[in-house]
Structure 1
């Protein structure tokens, strides 16, 4: 089985280069290749679209890369530098593809002339290469494409516009405003992109609309499907694609930079309505152009044909670009470490799956938590599996409405760790709280999440119930009036083996062992059932130190006994 290594800065969001990398990787595995993708960072939602046979390897996992591949298919030159000169990975053939004439790391490697094939996205980009001093005789055009499987169903055009689809991660203000204007005319407008409806744009999605307003690859797909396409975004645009402008707009990657015409919201609405009928007349002509110029299967066959004409000569490459052995690691190493630090500050849901309960990091799915409501849906598995669900990677978070496969699960019926039940909520008591559920052939999960520390602070600062021991930084919160409870958040300045909570009769109410306490993160909640509560730290088998004493009967005069840390 032939092995291909692909590179892209990120594999996590619905951006152009990320979606392109995943689309081609999936094509390769469907056609019998073994595929790895090397990236700085991976995550959801895009990972859900990656074929399970593709290995996505981030910087921290780079030791898992093979020493040799049959092909390297690279985006973003610092990653190719890193692989060739720092990791010393070799491939018989290397294809480098730049997807932009403007982004910094879409530039070409210094040794582009030594590669098997180097490609650019458009004729506009090729001209920009010439201006920047590159030798254009080395450049192939690898345009945005459409795959044959996307064209199983074609669009049936209507006589009038009823619905419009806008696809953009940088929607201009005038386009934002046309939504309200169109809707007053009875025409619905949906906007897809980072700040709007965020999902993968597919042929099935586009076929639901009468007009597409976008740039780039979405236009390629829309034209091939037979949908009227209006090229417009932050550069301005070319208007409706017709047989008159399709060739020139294609040379500029349907970016809007061919004409760069800017319009007001009113002018856009008028142009879209008035030009619709004329655009419909050219639909078949434009579809024919699409099949001739950006059908993926034709483009990639030509790329491999050209690649095979020039196998890599590593002796010559290393001799001519010796300095890159020192320079090449810089970008990827620095940014890989930085991305790791960024990720440590983020919240994640991580789902481990295994047939026998032996869970491992390699057989897990990590999803960044970015909303208060967390949802996850898996595809059906061919067999029943056991799941360990790490609900959040941080202590001190409240989890409500936990629903697994359509059922609200009682926590006492599940195998759990690091979770405390408070009323109907679950509180994460450490950085690795989990529930385990067995024998499922699919997993559908949802819950609400919030910072429990913030909730407590917001509720009790105003009531003046918060008292802080400035030396120990142990924060105490009184909760409720009729059934009072004491909530303790312990700082990382206290590192005992055990915390012991006793009442005024010296009876142990609760004891907590082996936690890595963190400031404003680890929470202990106990019922107050006596007039006096004392909290001790036990640093060895014999010694107990009193952290504080809380006299419930004298709420406004709390007595503390301090100890030195």
Structure 2
């Protein structure tokens, strides 16, 4: 099978990028031909792809060559920007011949030549493939902008959660046309939790850790619990089964929740949206419905977070150890189900003309995002510089206090000598 994966960005370790990386590895392991296009490429994520499989210019892609296109972030219409339909070419060719022989009737042989010259290209505007329209958020309207033509194409829809499927349904997409991925994770994350029921080391895996979580980490550190922050604003690394296995608790939202669940690690579901805290029998289905995003729950303060992480650890350890819904979150199960139910779309000249109407809007979205990426990098750099300055100030403060302590000792000594 020949597969094209489309996404807006492949740069940092974030949900959409990692999803493309995992699908790429899955299909490559099946010996499929896999090509990837993104509006923005960057390190560190891009280094995990073979250079020959990356396409830098969307205009170089001939979509008719592929069996399946996975499209997230509204890029699909741009594949047709320069694709002429057979109808257009016949008309242009006929008009040219009519002009050249304005005073002559077009003979049957001339019509035949026109048809023959257009036929090789007409084939490129009459073909079939599986189109997967992918939606990763119920509130980001960028995710929904392709719906008008995807619905007309009768594409196969994928939602990352029931919450997102409901949003698609509100726009007229039949629920039965939507496969929920539940942010499925590679099978390699399935591993037994061999750790002890002791809380010593926590990983906070987030590209946007809230202030209350940062403050909670300080409180936990004062009580002998090590807390490591992993993410775009601190340390960017690929999340692997080995990394997950090295911690007693994973504090996170989104895709990383599935990694921890498959590894039978306690999950404290909390981030910038708030969250339920430790996943348990009472809150699991609600959290799952909302893609383990933290939505559907309230925010907590630093003291509450630190207290819950310690006091409720034992119960969460048992829940994670006995977790038995792994099949719902396996990438292999999801892809097999998707391909088994996916239907082909037959692309015709009329459909191409319809799709092309969305090209200007999708090009504008790409341009806006490319500008957004630059701003985001600047903000991340400023955030990291702020952390460095804070650390320097803390170090300087400690040094100052040490000097003040020594001066105080010297002063006390001088006073004692004067008395003597």
Range of TM-score over shorter length? 0.7 to 0.9
Q: CA deviation at 1:115?
A: 3.3
How far, CA to CA, are the matches of 2:20 and 2:364 in structure 1?
Answer: 21
SS of the aligned residue for 2:344 comes to: coil
Q: Contact between 1:10 and 1:18, CA under 8 Å: does it hold in 2?
A: yes
Separation in 2, partners of 1:65, 1:321: 13
Q: Deviations over 1:281-326 (max 9, x none)?
A: 222332x11x22111111110100011xx221212xx536744424
| Structure 1 unmatched ranges of 5 or more | 347-369, 372-565
**1:123 aligned residue:** 162
1:312 maps to 2:349: no
1:272 aligns with 2:309: yes
- 1:59-98 Cα deviation digits (max 9, x unpaired): 3x63255642111111112x11111455578652111111
| Aligned residue number for residue 135 of structure 1 | 174
In the superposition, the TM-score normalised over structure 2's length comes to 0.73
- 8 Å Cα contact 1:170-1:233 kept in structure 2: yes
Which residue does 1:72 correspond to in 2? 69
Instruction: Please state how far the C-alpha of 1:339 moved relative to its aligned partner.
Output: 4.4
Higher RCO (C-alpha 8 Å, min separation 6): 2
In structure 2, C-alpha distance between the alignment counterparts of 1:341 and 1:167, rounded to whole Å: 23
Work out which of the residue numbers 342, 353, 356 in structure 2 matches 1:325: 356
Inter-partner Cα distance in structure 1 for 2:197 and 2:281: 19
The count of residues paired between Structure 1 and Structure 2 equals: 334
- Contact 1:5–1:35 (8 Å) recurs in 2: yes
Q: Does 1:200 pair with 2:198?
A: no
Deviations 1:259-279 (A, max 9, x none): x12111001111111111111
> Are positions 1:184 and 2:215 aligned together?
no
Aligned residues of 1:119 and 1:139 also touching (Cα < 8 A): yes
The structural deviation recorded for 1:150 is 2.6
Distance 1:242 1:338 in 2: 38
Alignment of 1:81 onto 2:46? no
Gaps of 5+ in 2: 85-123, 383-420
What is the CA-CA distance between 1:192 and the residue it aligns to? 1.1
Contact 1:35 1:54 in 2 (8 A): no
**8 Å contact kept, 2:59–2:82:** no
Distance 1:116 1:144, change over 3 A: same
Question: What per-residue deviation string (whole Å, max 9, x for no partner) do you get for residues 200-223 of structure 1?
Answer: 222211111111111011111101
2:42 aligns with 43
Partner of 2:398: none
- 8 Å CA contact retained: 1:243, 1:285: no
Which residue of structure 2 aligns with residue 299 of structure 1? 334
Aligned to 1:173: 211
Indicate yes or no: 2:335 matched with 1:335: no
Query: Does the CA contact (< 8 Å) of 1:164 and 1:190 recur in 2?
Result: yes
Report if aligned partners of 1:81, 1:109 keep a CA contact under 8 Å in 2.
no
Change (3 A) 1:230 1:338: closer
Deviation at 1:336, TM superposition (A): 5.5
State the superposition RMSD in angstroms. 2.7
Question: Equivalent residues in 2 for 1:97-496 (5 A)?
Answer: 97-107=134-144, 108-113=146-151, 114-151=153-190, 153-258=191-296, 260-286=297-323, 288-289=324-325, 291-307=326-342, 310-315=343-348, 318-319=349-350, 322-332=353-363, 335=366, 339=370
Conserved 8 A contact 1:157-1:280: no
> Whole-Å Cα distance in 1 between the matches of residues 221 and 42 of structure 2?
36
Per-residue deviation, 1:243: 2.7
Change (3 A) 1:106 1:337: closer
In structure 1, C-alpha distance between the alignment counterparts of 2:299 and 2:373, rounded to whole Å: 38
Structure ranking higher in helix proportion: 2
CA distance in structure 1 between the partners assigned to 2:225 and 2:250 by the alignment: 13
Distance 1:335 1:128, change over 3 A: closer
Give the Cα–Cα distance (whole angstroms) in 1 for the partners of residues 357 and 277 of structure 2: 48
Please say which of residues 141-150 and 320-329 is displaced more in the overlay. Answer: 320-329
Pick the structure with greater CA Rg. Answer: 1
Q: Name the CA distance, whole Å, in 2 between partners of 1:87 and 1:241.
A: 50
Q: Which residue of 2 aligns with 1:381?
A: none
Cα deviation code 1:384-407 (max 9, x no counterpart): xxxxxxxxxxxxxxxxxxxxxxxx
Q: Secondary structure at the match of 2:312?
A: helix
Return closer, same or farther for 1:341/1:73 CA change in 2, 3 Å cut-off: closer
Q: Distance in 2 between matches of 1:134 and 1:66?
A: 24
Structure 1 match to 2:4? 5
- For 1:100 and 1:69, the matched residues in 2 are separated by 27
- 1:172/1:339 CA distance change after superposition, 3 Å: closer
Distance in 2, matches of 1:342 and 1:284, equals: 40
Secondary structure in 1 matching 2:322: helix
Matched with 2:56 is 58
Matching residue of 2:22: 23
